[in-house]
Amino acid sequence: MTHSSLSRRRVLQAAGASAAALAAPTLLAQPAWPSKAIRFVVPFAPGGTSEVVARSVAAELTKQLGQSVYVENKPGGAGTIAMQEVAKAAPDGYTMILTHVGTLAVNPYMLKNQPYDVDKGLCASDAAGQSTECVRDSPRLACT
């Protein structure tokens, strides 16, 4: 090794150590997540299958996280009322929504003035379930 490569290496090491030292207080100051209750929004009226799924997921999350996860129904506007509220919520991980293809893929094309952008302000976390839907107009058509 030459003298210049050793010096460059030491400068890079010192810069990395300085950056780590400056970032350490910020990283250490972050509270453990979750440190408060988590809101789980359902964009439909109480009593439907979406609420049943949401309450089951909320109960399991409460057990796994050791923090309360509560379900809040926000029906109306084909799910846009709830989606808009969640999209505008603080991006801190304490507001979640149980959504479906209608609010994510159909509404943006069906509603002229969509009050939320599915590509901005929302982040997918996981799939809570899957359903197969089929419209039949003939008994000869298979539905799987």
User: At 101, which CATH number?
Assistant: 3.40.190.150
Mind giving me the DSSP string for 46-68? TTSHHHHHHHHHHHHHHHHHSS-
Angle at 70 between CA 65 and CA 71, to 5 degrees: 130
List, for residues 45-100, the tens digit of each pLDDT value.
999 888 888 899 899 999 999 999 999 999 988 888 888 888 888 888 899 888 87
In-domain check, residue 97:
yes
In total, how many domains does the chain have? 1
- What is the per-residue pLDDT for 75? 93
In-domain check, residue 51:
yes
pLDDT band at 6 (very low <50, low <70, confident <90, very high): low
Domain interval for residue 72: 38-110
- What is the per-residue pLDDT for 29? 61
In-domain check, residue 50:
yes
In-domain check, residue 31:
no
